[in-house]
């Protein structure tokens, strides 16, 4: 931060304006800079139970304050009759700020709470409201399994959840396009009628109704994924599972990226491998009935699909094969496809099972040529769900052995700010049966969860992360995944990449608390092998930083620190860390601020007038705590580009022109949530 602008602010607001009435601490501390965070599990996540009704729930969390004790509690909720679970994290994990454990839980919903206890008599806590142990299914097939809008889909209860997104688009040539690569970071929510079922399901379809039937029958949460693909026939699935792109015969062009097969195998690799899965529900055959494929061709094509999906993923997941062949075009059943489906379900030791017979449902089909819940008429979706429910009796839970995660990967602490081309070391920990020398792959994801690039590989912790030199400015996360078989761990918290930086900020988070007569500064430092000294510094005049204490560098691991400073009543206090490295480089952390007996008014720019040295920057404080949006205009109405950051001084937004502006008066337009205000700024 510029010394002159800080000094001017302090003089202007405290010496000229006099004392203020209220004590203001930046609300940022209790929101974005909270002291505890849970990286895994995510809300509404469901883990597949084993045949005895148990599942293992991996927990990864970060602590940014040196707690004397952190307790994890899993409390049964929503009618769950089983006992709560508690766990105290080990002392070395508290020191590193990197918390990991795995809980064995019985069927039902739980609330996960982490509580941190301090030696100051205060506690911090963070909660994941709902995590479940129940049943997980992946749907595959054609459009009558995928689902279409406007045909009577229903809401499910809160016990049935999905990842409400799709990974596909329809291009100008009427071809569905979806990537072949790591899946996004999932989020989960109760399945509503217009919700998608990732990666391909467009609505809740009859799966919402089936989910409720299974949830009521088995007293479990239910999670669905849906990789079904419109217009895909058996040959398309066999071709794409064998390395080819498939032809959409209705459009006359190929689907790229080995779709529809890629969505099936990538859903297994990146989604169900982490949650576990009971079975794949295969509902397909109408297209092939219309094409009059032979029994052997359909049988061989789908057998190839199943075999290749198991070979390519490493997971021998059970498949339920529904019997479908009828359509309005065919005007009846097509026995060769039905025979092939029956043969697939009957192969000895092939881990396939007989699904429902769907050819008698709602025939002839409505004009949509799909199942449909018709208002005042036949409830085709409900009938299809009921047919599936009938072939899933309680006795099947012992016979159909679910596929469960063999191990868990817990991803560690990242730096806070980086630049394109930067590298850093990311530690990880695994629990369970991870084979020795298993390769771990680091995947970079945008903050919205979508995959960007693979940024590192290794067989031991830590893994070197290589930020691409061409990466766009923005917020990102890293997820570590095992590669053989693919099984992802948790994603890190967000870090920020921007080309304006030339150094890495290894301080993951820094915060300050005013408690009684003391100010407690705490920070979590990511692994930095070149670090030699950590010096906490303080200023009250914006010019002269004084060293408070020097701390030893951590030994190739993350670490939590704290310093207690006596509160002498200064009206403005700024703390930062000076980080000294082996290569003689010096970096500084984000500045953390405390204003006492008042502070800057929200949305009031300071210093104002601002100065040409060093870079005409000024500061704003949000009313809402949300990021501000600003635009700067001269008196003729011309807009001038500005740089805005809420990352350099915690609780304040830094604004500065991208090029030097002439002396004069300018108009600053500020948007804080839905509120818009303007301010005059004088540059001298």
Please write the tens of the pLDDT for every residue from 160-201: 999 999 999 999 999 999 999 999 999 999 999 999 999 999
Q: State how far the Cα of 473 lies from the Cα of 458, in Å rounded to an integer.
A: 26
Cα of first residue to Cα of last residue in the chain, in angstroms, is 19
pLDDT of 2 > 60? The answer is no
Q: 389 Cβ partners below 8 Å, 6+ apart?
A: 210, 213, 214, 217
Q: What are residue 65's phi and psi, to 5 degrees?
A: -140, 145
Exposed/middle/buried for residue 550 (C-beta within 10 Å: 0-12, 13-18, 19+): exposed
Alpha helices in 314-446 (DSSP H): 335-346, 380-390, 396-399
Q: 444 Cβ partners below 8 Å, 6+ apart?
A: 451, 452, 453, 454, 455, 467, 468, 471, 476, 477, 478
Sign of CA dihedral 377, 380, 386, 387: positive
Which residues sit opposite 307 in a β-bridge? none
* Nearest one of 601, 609, 602 to 681, comparing CA atoms: 609
> What is the DSSP pairing of strand 591-595 with strand 586-588?
unpaired
pLDDT of 546 > 60? The answer is yes
Q: State how far the Cα of 297 lies from the Cα of 288, in Å rounded to an integer.
A: 10
- pLDDT at position 621, please? 84
* Nearest one of 166, 255, 149, 165 to 205, comparing CA atoms: 149
Average pLDDT over residues 638-645: 92
pLDDT of 20 > 50? The answer is no
- pLDDT at position 1, please? 39
pLDDT of 12 > 70? The answer is no
Q: State how far the Cα of 493 lies from the Cα of 478, in Å rounded to an integer.
A: 8
| Least reliable range by pLDDT among 447-456, 524-533, 542-551 | 542-551
Show the domains of the chain with their CATH numbers: 36-132 (2.60.40.10), 135-398 (3.40.50.1110), 407-497 (2.60.40.1930), 507-595 (2.60.40.10), 618-683 (2.60.40.10)
CA distances from 33 to 28, 63, 83, 510 (A): 6, 11, 33, 8
- pLDDT at position 614, please? 61
Q: State how far the Cα of 454 lies from the Cα of 69, in Å rounded to an integer.
A: 36
| Least reliable range by pLDDT among 6-20, 290-304, 438-452, 484-498 | 6-20
- pLDDT at position 402, please? 98
Q: State how far the Cα of 414 lies from the Cα of 425, in Å rounded to an integer.
A: 8
Write out the H or E segment, with its range, that includes residue 238: helix 234-241
pLDDT of 252 > 90? The answer is yes
Confidence of residue 457 (pLDDT cuts 50, 70, 90): very high
Average pLDDT over residues 117-146: 96
* Nearest one of 287, 288, 183 to 226, comparing CA atoms: 183
Q: State how far the Cα of 297 lies from the Cα of 590, in Å rounded to an integer.
A: 64
**Contact yes or no for 322/272 (Cβ under 8 A):** no
pLDDT of 528 > 60? The answer is yes
Q: State how far the Cα of 370 lies from the Cα of 225, in Å rounded to an integer.
A: 20
pLDDT of 228 > 90? The answer is yes
CA distances from 404 to 244, 268, 315, 321 (A): 30, 11, 9, 21
Q: What are residue 339's phi and psi, to 5 degrees?
A: -65, -45
- pLDDT at position 33, please? 37
Within a 10 A sphere around the Cβ of 48, how many other Cβ atoms? 23
Average pLDDT over residues 114-135: 96
| Least reliable range by pLDDT among 236-250, 256-270, 645-659 | 645-659
pLDDT of 28 > 70? The answer is no
**Contact yes or no for 24/623 (Cβ under 8 A):** no
Q: Is 436 left (phi over 0), alpha (psi -120 to 50) or beta?
A: beta
Within a 13 Å sphere around the CA of 188, how many CA atoms are in the beta-carbon half? 26
* Nearest one of 455, 485, 44, 489 to 265, comparing CA atoms: 485
- pLDDT at position 598, please? 64
Q: State how far the Cα of 602 lies from the Cα of 548, in Å rounded to an integer.
A: 30
Length of the chain counted residue by residue: 684
**Contact yes or no for 85/103 (Cβ under 8 A):** yes
Sign of CA dihedral 131, 137, 140, 146: negative
Confidence of residue 650 (pLDDT cuts 50, 70, 90): confident
Mean pLDDT, the chain, whole residue set: 91
Q: Is 382 left (phi over 0), alpha (psi -120 to 50) or beta?
A: alpha
- Selected residue with higher pLDDT from 153 and 660: 153
pLDDT of 681 > 60? The answer is yes
- pLDDT at position 22, please? 28
* Nearest one of 267, 135, 141, 133 to 198, comparing CA atoms: 267
pLDDT of 7 > 60? The answer is no
Average pLDDT over residues 482-508: 94
DSSP 446-462: ETTS-EEEEEEEESSSS
**Contact yes or no for 650/591 (Cβ under 8 A):** yes
Q: State how far the Cα of 581 lies from the Cα of 553, in Å rounded to an integer.
A: 10
Q: State how far the Cα of 630 lies from the Cα of 389, in Å rounded to an integer.
A: 55
Q: State how far the Cα of 73 lies from the Cα of 67, in Å rounded to an integer.
A: 16
Q: State how far the Cα of 288 lies from the Cα of 144, in Å rounded to an integer.
A: 13
* Nearest one of 549, 539, 546, 610 to 572, comparing CA atoms: 539
> What is the DSSP pairing of strand 675-683 with strand 189-190?
unpaired
Average pLDDT over residues 64-73: 97
Q: State how far the Cα of 559 lies from the Cα of 551, in Å rounded to an integer.
A: 11
Q: State how far the Cα of 644 lies from the Cα of 631, in Å rounded to an integer.
A: 10
Q: What angle do CA 205, 209, 214 make, to 5 degrees?
A: 130
- pLDDT at position 543, please? 64
Within a 10 A sphere around the Cβ of 175, how many other Cβ atoms? 17
Q: State how far the Cα of 518 lies from the Cα of 499, in Å rounded to an integer.
A: 38
* Buried-exposed string 105-127: b where 16+ CB fall within 10 A, e elsewhere: bbbbbbbbbbbbbbeeeeebebe
pTM score, two decimals?
0.89
- pLDDT at position 227, please? 98
pLDDT of 103 > 70? The answer is yes
Q: 568 Cβ partners below 8 Å, 6+ apart?
A: none
């Amino acid at each position: 931060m510029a010394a002159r602008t800080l000094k001017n602010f302090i003089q202007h607001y405290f010496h000229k304006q006099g004392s203020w009435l209220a004590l203001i601490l930046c609300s940022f501390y209790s929101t974005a800079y909270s002291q505890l965070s849970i990286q895994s599990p995510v809300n509404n996540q469901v883990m597949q139970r084993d045949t005895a009704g148990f599942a293992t729930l991996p927990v990864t969390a970060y602590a940014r304050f040196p707690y004397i004790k952190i307790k994890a509690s899993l409390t049964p909720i929503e009618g769950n009759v089983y006992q709560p679970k508690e766990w105290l994290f080990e002392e070395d994990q508290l020191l590193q700020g990197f918390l990991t454990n795995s809980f064995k839980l019985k069927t039902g919903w739980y609330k996960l709470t982490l509580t941190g206890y301090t030696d100051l008599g205060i506690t911090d806590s963070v909660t994941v409201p709902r995590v479940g142990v129940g049943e997980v299914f992946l749907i595959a097939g054609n459009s009558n399994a995928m689902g279409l809008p406007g045909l009577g889909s229903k809401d499910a209860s809160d016990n049935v959840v999905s990842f409400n997104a799709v990974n596909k688009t329809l291009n100008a040539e009427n071809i569905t396009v979806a990537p072949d690569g790591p899946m996004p970071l999932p989020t989960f929510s109760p399945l509503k009628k217009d919700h998608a079922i990732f990666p391909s399901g467009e609505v809740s379809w009859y799966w919402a109704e089936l989910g409720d039937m299974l949830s009521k029958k088995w007293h479990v949460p239910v999670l669905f994924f849906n990789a079904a693909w419109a217009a895909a026939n058996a040959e398309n699935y066999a071709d794409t599972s064998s390395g080819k792109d498939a032809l959409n015969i209705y459009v006359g062009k190929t689907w790229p990226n080995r779709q529809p097969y890629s969505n099936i195998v990538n859903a297994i690799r990146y989604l169900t491998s982490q949650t576990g899965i009971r079975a794949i529900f295969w509902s397909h055959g109408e297209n092939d009935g219309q094409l009059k494929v032979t029994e052997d061709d359909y049988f061989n094509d789908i057998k190839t699909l199943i075999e290749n999906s198991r070979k390519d993923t490493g997971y021998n997941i059970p498949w339920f094969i529904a019997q479908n062949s009828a359509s309005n075009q065919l005007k009846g059943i097509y026995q060769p496809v039905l025979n092939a489906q029956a043969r697939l379900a009957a192969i000895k030791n092939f881990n396939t099972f007989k699904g429902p017979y769907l050819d008698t449902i709602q025939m002839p089909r409505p004009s949509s040529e799909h199942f449909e819940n018709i208002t005042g008429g036949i409830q085709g979706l409900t009938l299809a769900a009921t047919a599936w429910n009938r072939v899933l009796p309680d006795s099947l839970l012992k016979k159909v052995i679910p596929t469960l995660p063999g191990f868990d990967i817990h991803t560690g602490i990242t730096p806070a700010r980086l630049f394109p081309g930067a590298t850093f070391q990311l530690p990880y920990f695994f629990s369970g049966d991870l084979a020795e020398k298993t390769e771990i792959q680091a995947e970079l994801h945008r903050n919205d969860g979508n995959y960007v690039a693979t940024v590192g590989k290794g067989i031991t912790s830590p893994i070197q992360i290589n930020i691409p030199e061409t990466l766009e400015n923005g917020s990102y996360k890293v997820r570590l995944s095992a590669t053989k078989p693919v099984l992802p761990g948790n994603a890190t918290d967000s870090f920020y990449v921007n080309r304006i930086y030339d150094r890495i900020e290894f301080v993951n988070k820094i915060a300050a608390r005013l408690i009684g007569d003391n100010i407690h500064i705490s920070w979590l430092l990511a692994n930095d092998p070149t670090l030699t000294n950590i010096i906490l510094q303080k200023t009250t005049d914006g010019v002269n930083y004084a060293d408070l204490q020097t701390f030893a560098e951590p030994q190739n691991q993350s670490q939590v620190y704290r310093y207690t400073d006596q509160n002498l009543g200064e009206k403005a206090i700024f703390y930062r860390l000076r980080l000294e490295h082996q290569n003689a480089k010096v970096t500084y952390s984000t500045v953390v601020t405390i204003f006492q007996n008042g502070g800057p008014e929200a949305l009031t720019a300071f210093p104002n007038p601002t100065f040409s040295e060093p870079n005409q920057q000024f500061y704003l404080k949000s009313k809402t705590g949300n990021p501000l949006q600003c635009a700067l205009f001269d008196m003729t109405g011309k807009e001038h580009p500005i740089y805005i950051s809420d990352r350099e001084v915690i609780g304040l937004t830094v604004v500065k022109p991208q090029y030097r502006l002439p002396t004069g008066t300018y108009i600053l337009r500020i948007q804080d949530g839905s509120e818009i205000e303007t301010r005059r700024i004088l540059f001298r």
